[in-house]
Amino acid sequence: MTQKPLKRPEWLHANKMIPNILTILAICAGMSAIRFGLEDRWEFAALSILAAAILDALDGRIARIMKGASKFGAELDSLSDFISFGVAPAMMLYLWALQDIGRFGWMLALLFSVSMALRLARFNTMLEDEDQPPWTRNFFAGVPAPAAAGLVLLPMVLSFQFGDTFFREPVVISIVLIGVASLVVSTIPTFSFKKIKVPARRIVPAMILAAAFVTALVSAPWSTLSAVLVIYLATIPLSIKDYRRRSMETESNGESD
């Protein structure tokens, strides 16, 4: 009985490799954040999480632009999100403030990581649900992984500006961590800014705003990040209101049909 020759893997085009390379770089950034935390270099650790978030935002967009999206890339992206935004921030907070309270601090770190794993698993399954109205793609169920990592590290970011006398207290970190973990696994609708389209007449003002944001981020990174995170928190009630309005319009249209 003759054996069939093994099928050689097809060569990957560069447009399919670039997004995956960015995702791998995001994993490296997340792991580097843990290393900086072990060395008590907290600002570098926070900047590593920021770099992972930027890479995470770029890989998906580049994949869509270059038509390099794949099932493999989607799975790799989920693993990257879990490491960079689920494991790394939890380890950073444990090393920074929670290890002094023993087992309870470790339980809180585990809580955040497990919540992020559940959130990513739910996100992957919801992608396969084609019964939802098209407008629901403008919303996430719960706080997305990069935003959750930023919110849970907000006390650390604030401590870089105002000192860690208050923000490094285990009680403060515990409350923030539990609150963000609850937002992660919740079904609260939050805005997905991936679908934003800029009208042609507003491209120049949008580019000016983007340049101003980058300038602020370079000049005063911690103040800029703090402002962005606080503004994001303020958008959550607006997203809930907008989601309910759209849901009522969909239901009324369905009843009228």
What is the band of 196 on the pLDDT scale with cuts at 50, 70, 90?
Answer: low
Strand partners, 191: 139
Q: What is the pLDDT of residue 204?
A: 76
Contacts for 24 with CB less than 8 Å, ≥ 6 apart: 76, 80
Structural domain contains residue 201: yes
Structural domain that includes position 183: 84-247
Give 56-99 pLDDT, tens digit per residue. Answer: 888 777 767 766 667 777 788 888 999 999 999 999 999 999 98
Query: How many domains is the chain partitioned into structurally?
Result: 1
Structural domain contains residue 51: no
Structural domain contains residue 57: no
Structural domain contains residue 136: yes
Structural domain contains residue 58: no
What is the band of 203 on the pLDDT scale with cuts at 50, 70, 90?
Answer: confident
More confident residue, 200 or 28: 28
Structural domain contains residue 184: yes
- C-alpha span between 242 and 191 (Å, rounded): 9
More confident residue, 29 or 3: 29
Torsions phi, psi of 197, nearest 5? -120, 130
Strand partners, 140: 190
- pLDDT, mean of residues 209-235: 88
Structural domain contains residue 17: no
What is the band of 131 on the pLDDT scale with cuts at 50, 70, 90?
Answer: low
- pLDDT, mean of residues 117-123: 87
Answer whether 48's CB lies under 8 Å from 33's CB.
yes
HEC string for the chain: CCCCCCCCCCCCCHHHHHHHHHHHHHHHHHHHHHHHHHCCCHHHHHHHHHHHHHHHHHHHHHHHHCCCCCHHHHHHHHHHHHHHHHHHHHHHHHHHHHHHHCHHHHHHHHHHHHHHHHHHHHHHHHHCCCCCCHHHHHEEECCCHHHHHHHHCHHHHHHHHHCHHHHCCHHHHHHHHHHHHHHHHCCCEEECHHHCCCCHHHHHHHHHHHHHHHHHHHHCHHHHHHHHHHHHHHHHHHHHHHHHHHHHHHHHHHHHC
Structural domain contains residue 44: no
Distance in angstroms between the alpha carbons of the first and the last residue of the chain: 63
